[in-house]
Amino acid sequence: MLATLDWIIIIGFLALSLSISLYYRKRASGGLTDFFLGGRNLPWYIAGISMVATTFAADTPLAVTGLVAKNGISGNWLWWNMLAGGMLTTFFFARLWRRSGVITEVELIELRYSGPEAAFLRGLRAVYLGLFMNVLIIGWVNVALASILKGMFGIPPDQVIWYVAGAMAVAVIYTTISGLWGVAVTDVVQFTIAMTGTVVLAYLVVNSEQIGGISGLQEKLADKPWAFEFFPSIGNTAADMGSTLTITVGAFLAFIGVQWWSSWYPGAEPGGGGYVAQRMMSAKDENQAVYATLLFQVAHYCLRPWPWILVALCCIVLYPGLNEPGMGYIYAMNDFLPVGLKGLLVVAFLAAYLSTISTQLNWGAGYLVNDVYKRFSEGNPNNEQPKIGSKLLDDQEFKKSKHAKTDKELITASRLATVFLCILGIGVTPFITSIEDTWKFIMECGAGLGLVLILRWYWWRINAWSEIAATIAPFIGFGISKFILGWEFPNSFFLTVGFTTASWLFVTFLTEPTKKATLTHFYNKVQPGGWWAPISITQPVGFKPGYLALCWLSGITFTYATLFGVGKFIFGDYQLAAIWLVTAMVALGLLRFGMGKTKVL
């Protein structure tokens, strides 16, 4: 249980979070751009750290602990594989998102596509992402917090939902008061606390009497050499490895070769999207959008994982045979943290939870207000001159008309939408029984959509029907593979990707292209480059595919080499650590060269 000092630390943290929101409250009252994008004035380091904090949810250390318990360090390839897509977003899409001038990801739809099908797609995606997917994510993060509260304090299952609701209420309060500025700055504070807490826990557990440092950990896991492997052994069976570790060639190909570009997943959307796009669009300028996203990728894959992995390896020794291996992380907190530090770790998990929930609420409310309420009540697509009946209006005339929503009305609607999502998220939470199953469902029901989200920027022939087909087809493909054929991952994933890709390509060439006027407007505004011959053959400054590809590949190499170099150093393999870190430095030099050639530096 917590001592008085622990409670003082927790209450102090909550007071700090609320005081930040009060400080930034005026910055959220100017209009939707201020409330959801911070007035497009966030420094790159705040935007980047805010992205990292959002992906550090309360469930993340527990999930990593479970992966390591089952498959050793190499189990993390379940999410490490997404780096390729993240670096693609950094160099090929961050500047385009900032240049587009939209408020939300789905507003881009009516900037890029034309006709009633574009309006339908915008509304569909706004509800699908802002309501359905958003509530699922909020639900699984709530389930993770509930597990922590039950493990730390022994709160009965029928009562824990009220404690989760209280934590969520804190997020609602500071999100509705301060908008994105308050959310982002609070994220920076929360991430600092969360990382400090996890590093302290890793140090105490690894150096405890039961473990005896890194050398003691290696001795105690000498019969489980697979636990320290950074890469899966392709095609080996469990008997070959002497462990539960096994990965087929098909699964490896799905992770490395297909998933990163084909599958929609929150925080790792191909081409950018969701809260990552929101942070890119909130940056001060295009280059700062690139810096923010690059910081996110490096910190996400290099800075965060090792404290979690070290505790997870210790949990294999300390708590063998758990039905829920992820709970080993909570047991380690209970068993190894003294008074004061236990409060710090509770704050760390609370900070991780709040940073994710506040972003989900702000981001989701943006879709519901900007792309449903405002768009369909005003009846005015963002790429057309406003009109009433057949009369065209200039911006000032439209703002004075009864059809236009005032900034005050829109801010009020945004705050109400935030509260609505909170209530809905709490209501859904008791029905989510497995975080892992929710992950798999989201990943497979977005399989194949990713390629459309990438190509819509660079290929003029993609139209609204392409994206509609790519949004709906994964559910059909998943249903066929799961309920008719009875396939499991990765075979089901490959089938869904193939079915979705074939579906949207067929629909693309079966339907008419987007109107030339819309394509021209989009190209002139965003200047994406690529295959736009019917519209323009002029490539924008900075669009140099060869150098962008160099940035992409060197960014991936730098991040992986740093990740593995730090790991080898921790485990005392200094020769391999030096090789990895020298590789990282060479890649960093190539990265700087490529960024200079594309006008980012």
Q: What is the pLDDT of residue 237?
A: 42
Q: Which of 484, 485, 506, 495 is nearest to 444 (CA)?
A: 495
d(CA 474, CA 470): 7
- Look up residue 308 and give its two tokens: 């979690």
pLDDT value of residue 399: 53
For tokens 């294999």, name the residue.
316
- For residue 63, name the pLDDT band (cuts at 50, 70, 90): confident
Considering 141-155, 225-239, 304-318, the range whose residues carry the highest mean pLDDT is 304-318
Q: Rounded mean pLDDT of 267-291?
A: 90
pLDDT of 235 > 80? The answer is: no
Handedness of CA 518, 522, 525, 527 (dihedral sign): negative
Mean pLDDT of the chain: 85
- Asked if the model's pLDDT at residue 383 lies above 60, the reply is no
Region 468-489: what's the mean pLDDT? 87
Range scoring the smallest mean pLDDT among 89-93, 297-301, 326-330: 326-330
User: pLDDT by residue (tens digit) across 446-475?
Assistant: 788 889 999 999 999 999 999 999 999 999
Q: Supply the pLDDT for residue 542.
A: 64
What letter does residue 28 receive in the DSSP assignment?
G
Q: State whether residue 283 is helix, strand or coil.
A: strand
Average of per-residue pLDDT across 269-276: 85
Predicted confidence band of residue 239 (pLDDT cuts 50, 70, 90): very low
pTM (2 d.p.): 0.89
pLDDT at 215 over 70: yes
| pLDDT at residue 211, rounded to an integer | 94
Which pair of structure tokens corresponds to residue 409? Answer: 């009305």
Contact 95, 290 (CB under 8 A): yes
Could you read off the pLDDT of 302-358 as tens digits, one per residue? 888 999 999 999 999 999 988 888 889 988 988 888 877 777 778 888 888 888 898
pLDDT grade, residue 243 (50/70/90)?
very low
Rounded to an integer, what distance in angstroms lies between the CA atom of residue 563 and that of residue 587? Answer: 13
Distance from C-alpha of 361 to C-alpha of 137, rounded to nearest angstrom: 11
Segment 27-47 mean pLDDT: 89
Is residue 601's pLDDT more than 90? no
pLDDT tens track for 119-132: 999 999 999 989 98
pLDDT at residue 254 tops 90: no
Counting residues of the chain whose pLDDT is more than 70, the rounded percentage is: 89
pLDDT above 90 covers what percent of the chain? 43
pLDDT the model gives residue 387: 45
**In the 3-class helix/strand/coil scheme, how is 495-564 assigned residue by residue?**
HHHHHHHHHHHHHHHHCCCCCHHHHHHHHHHHCCCCECCCCCCCCCCCCCHHHHHHHHHHHHHHHHHHHH
**Across residues 1-30, what is the average pLDDT?**
81
Whether 512 and 463 have beta carbons less than 8 Å apart is answered as yes
250 pLDDT higher than 70 = no
* 3-state SS string for 394-453: CHHHHHHCCCCCCHHHHHHHHHHHHHHHHHHHHHHHHHCCCHHHHHHHHHHCCECCHHHH
Contacts of 166 (CB under 8 A, 6+ apart): none
Winning range, highest mean pLDDT, from 244-258, 365-379, 382-396, 575-589: 575-589
Close Cβ partners of 486 (under 8 Å, ≥ 6 residues apart): none
The predicted-structure confidence for 396-427, as pLDDT tens digits, reads as follows 544 554 556 788 888 899 999 999 999 999 98
Higher-confidence residue of 226 and 402: namely 226
Read off the pLDDT band of 6 (50, 70, 90): confident
pLDDT at 537: 63
pLDDT, tens digit, for every residue of 170-194?
Answer: 888 888 888 889 889 998 988 898 8
Lowest-pLDDT choice from 242-246, 551-555, 588-592: 242-246
- Residue 391 pLDDT greater than 70, yes or no: no
Predicted pLDDT of residue 437: 65
pLDDT of residue 372: 92
